[in-house]
Amino acid sequence: MLSTTESGHQALMVDQVEIRYGAISAVKQVNLRLEQGQIGCLLGASGCGKSTLLRAIAGFEAVVDGTISLGGRLLSSPTLMVPAEQRQIGMVFQDIALFPHLTVEKNIAFGLTHLGRADQAARVSELLSLVGLAGAEQRYPHSLSGGQQQRIALARALAPKPAVLLMDEPFAGLDATLKETLVPDIRRILVQEGITALVVTHDQQEAYAIADKVALMNLGCIEQFASPFQIYHQPETRYVADFIGQGYFLPGTLLNAHQLNTDLGVLNMPDPAAFAAKTEVDLLIRPDDVLHDDESNFLAEITRKHFKGTFFQYEVTLANGRSLLCIASSHQDHRVGQRIGIRLDLDHFVLFERVSVSLPQANILAGPISG
């Protein structure tokens, strides 16, 4: 459970929610909290339950257990389902769904029938300025680019000032270059408006760029709900560690509370491990944790190379046959088959006990490697 901050209050509260299709549980005992003005993200592979959960919050799916509340108002329970149009929730869909026969002005004003004409025009003008399309009132959707259409869809969803904005794969149809500029812009707009939002995506980079909190889902459950930094650097389960980023596990054995024996030597840990000496563990390693270093005594052979613009990513093989990913400056252009020195550069340790039956326990230790 997440607690409120001193300056805000909880806007969206999902408590022990379960959603079933017949005998199949699509969402299982999920808990989620978003504070006022916070942007959350449901991240995960296809079929993990993220869109189903979003549809339940929107009022399109019933819950068989648990509750969904917005600003303290109960919206869903096993005995209650407030209609979608009465929830004060805005929606932005993957297919954008602008009305092609209506102008931009009339698309945005579609949900403003409770306002007079002058107030509608003022709100439309305000939103077009906010999304960077001032003066586009009389244009039609077909005359806009994909990114412009997405901005109009966002403006339309924001027009009635919803309590929460839900976005279901809103950037899936856009090219990578457009995403790089549009996603941060959408976040800026949401923050500027103080909008509480929940975004569904399968794209990790989108999640990092837009969200304050990321909920990584797996088989209908939330594996971890934390900041993008924590999800990446401090995964709580082996699934999170494996799903997020490019990670792999380096096996090792604890010599004592502060020393871990690995294929790259004995690593000194600044904080004591939670496991007993002689415990076999797996150490989470990211590509940026392994650096090219000509002074290192640990040599590895380059088996593959990938030019990333500002750096090279090498796949290297140790003498015992273990493969690692290594980062090197874009000026260090080595050939496949060449042997180079490598070293670990960790500022924290993420260890998982190697067990075959029970779920792995995470042990996160902060601090640089010494020695």
Residue 331 has pLDDT above 60, yes or no: yes
Structural domains of the chain, with CATH: 10-88+162-239 (3.40.50.300), 246-366 (2.40.50.140)
pLDDT in tens, 103-136: 999 999 998 988 899 999 999 999 999 888 999 9
Task: Supply the pLDDT for residue 341.
Answer: 93
Task: Supply the pLDDT for residue 93.
Answer: 82
Longest dimension (CA), the chain: 75
Hunting for tokens 């812009």 — which residue is that? 185
- pLDDT class of 363 with cuts at 50, 70, 90: low
Task: Supply the pLDDT for residue 338.
Answer: 95
Residue 255 has pLDDT above 50, yes or no: yes
For 216-230, what is the mean pLDDT? 96
Average pLDDT, the chain: 89
Q: Which residues pair with 344 in a beta bridge?
A: 290
Task: Supply the pLDDT for residue 361.
Answer: 55
Beta strands in 7-111 (DSSP E): 10-21, 24-35, 39-43, 65-70, 73-77, 80-81, 89-92
Per-position DSSP letters for 173-204, written without gaps between them? TS-HHHHHHHHHHHHHHHHHHT-EEEEEES-H
pLDDT in tens, 161-210: 999 999 999 888 778 888 888 899 899 989 998 999 999 999 999 999 99
Long-range CB pairs of 313-318, under 8 A, 24+ apart, other chains included: 313/287, 314/340, 316/290, 316/340, 316/342, 318/263, 318/264
Task: Supply the pLDDT for residue 339.
Answer: 95
pLDDT in tens, 257-283: 999 999 888 999 888 888 899 999 999
pLDDT in tens, 65-74: 999 999 999 9
Residue 358 has pLDDT above 80, yes or no: no
Hunting for tokens 């999640």 — which residue is that? 207
For the ranges 42-56, 143-157, 269-283, 317-331, the maximum mean pLDDT occurs at 42-56
Phi then psi dihedrals of residue 229, to 5 deg: -60, -45
Hunting for tokens 């998982």 — which residue is that? 352
Task: Supply the pLDDT for residue 319.
Answer: 87
Q: How far apart are CA 290 and CA 19, in angstroms?
A: 43
- pLDDT class of 364 with cuts at 50, 70, 90: low
pLDDT in tens, 6-63: 334 779 999 999 999 999 999 999 999 999 999 999 999 999 999 999 999 999 999 9
Residue 2 has pLDDT above 80, yes or no: no
For 80-85, what is the mean pLDDT? 95
The model's pTM is 0.85
